[in-house]
Amino acid sequence: MDTLSQISHWRVVAASVCGVSHIKTNQLCQDAHHWELLPDNILVAAVADGAGSASLGKVGAMVAVETAIEEISFHNLTQEVLQDDALIQEILTTVLVSAKKTVESEADACNVQARDFATTLILVIASPQAIAVAQIGDGVAVAKDTNGNLVALTLPDNGEYINQTIFLTSPEAIDKMQFKLWRLSVANVGILTDGLQMLALNMAVGAPHKPFFFPLFDFVTKAPDRNEAKEELVKFLSSEKITQRTDDDLTLILAAFHHHY
């Protein structure tokens, strides 16, 4: 058992699984995720989806999430910092710029083009009273408050075509970054890559689908053991019910905060 997670009031379950189409062609899962619990009940979490068209999308995605989490943990985040809109936006932007640079220099070191490492990136900072998100590309971050209201913090950033998006390595990435700061009593946070988008969102109105998120949030809130919960989440993401609807790689981070009054 992770001692920090016992001290913290966050429970987190996260998994990335390889899509059926990638299993068939023996490709790697091109999604990656990473999260960490910081002091003062701060949770930082990141997901990334390497582009299928990029030869090294998997590497790009891994470098992106690891850099983002490492960098954000240097910023001495506290609940107080999350009170300051301008400051938190500046921190998130700095971290994303740094993740972009790291991915690009990694590409450089491997003697390939930055676009061969093309990946999306969603970075979330969550505290008991606020959530801040920065997102480049598609996928979505959602939140539920303690009154049971479910909201999409970001929306998938697609162009005219569903398979078109911007990437961390795109020149316009930082300009097109979505940023959202949400302040309410936080019950849950969910972050997912585009593979689950069609199942988790009502795409016509861009709203999160309650019958999708509520049971999952309930699950992470009650999950007694982290390893068992992760196993269950992987099993769910690999179940036929899901693979009939999507053959893409899937990543889901679920978090619950236990308020004690």
Partner 1 sequence: MLDTLKLDEVVEFAENPEPRCPCVLLLDTSGSMQGEAINALNQGLQSFRNELIDNSLASRRVEVAIITFDSHVNVVQDFVTADQFHPPMLTAQGLTTMGAGIHKALDLIQERKAQYRSNGVAYYRPWIFMITDGEPQGEFDDVVTQASKRLQQDEASKRVAFFTVGVENANMNLLSQIAVRTPLHLKGLNFVEMFMWLSASMAAVSHSKVDEQVALPPIGWGNV
Cβ proximity to partner 1, 76 vs 163, nearer residue: 163
Q: Which residue, chain included where needed, has tokens 């408050």?
A: 145
98: exposed, middle or buried (Cβ count in 10 Å: 0-12, 13-18, 19+): middle
Size of the site for partner 1 (CB under 8 A): 50
Tokens of 158: 């697609």
Restricted to residues 160-189, the positions that interact with partner 1 (CB under 8 A) are 160-165, 167, 170
Binding flag, residue 244, partner 1 (CB under 8 A): yes
Minimum CB distance to partner 1, residue 127 (Å):
25
Binding flag, residue 204, partner 1 (CB under 8 A): yes
Site track 85-104 with partner 1 (rule: CB under 8 A), x = hit: --------------------
The number of beta carbons lying within 10 Å of the beta carbon of residue 202 is 13
Compute φ and ψ for 130, nearest 5 degrees.
-160, 155
Please check whether residue 237 is in contact with residue 250, taking contact to mean a CB–CB distance below 8 angstroms.
yes
Please check whether residue 120 is in contact with residue 137, taking contact to mean a CB–CB distance below 8 angstroms.
yes
The number of beta carbons lying within 10 Å of the beta carbon of residue 240 is 8
Q: Which residue, chain included where needed, has tokens 């913090």?
A: 153
Minimum CB distance to partner 1, residue 245 (Å):
6
Cβ proximity to partner 1, 126 vs 200, nearer residue: 200
Dist. CA 261–CA 241, nearest whole Å: 39
Binding flag, residue 27, partner 1 (CB under 8 A): no
Minimum CB distance to partner 1, residue 70 (Å):
26
Dist. CA 37–CA 258, nearest whole Å: 14
Site track 42-61 with partner 1 (rule: CB under 8 A), x = hit: -------x-xxxx-------
Cβ proximity to partner 1, 25 vs 147, nearer residue: 25
- List contacts with partner 1 (CB under 8 A): 19, 21, 49, 51-54, 115, 118, 138, 158, 160-165, 167, 170, 194, 198-204, 209, 211-212, 215-216, 218-219, 222-224, 228, 232-233, 235-236, 239, 241-242, 244-248
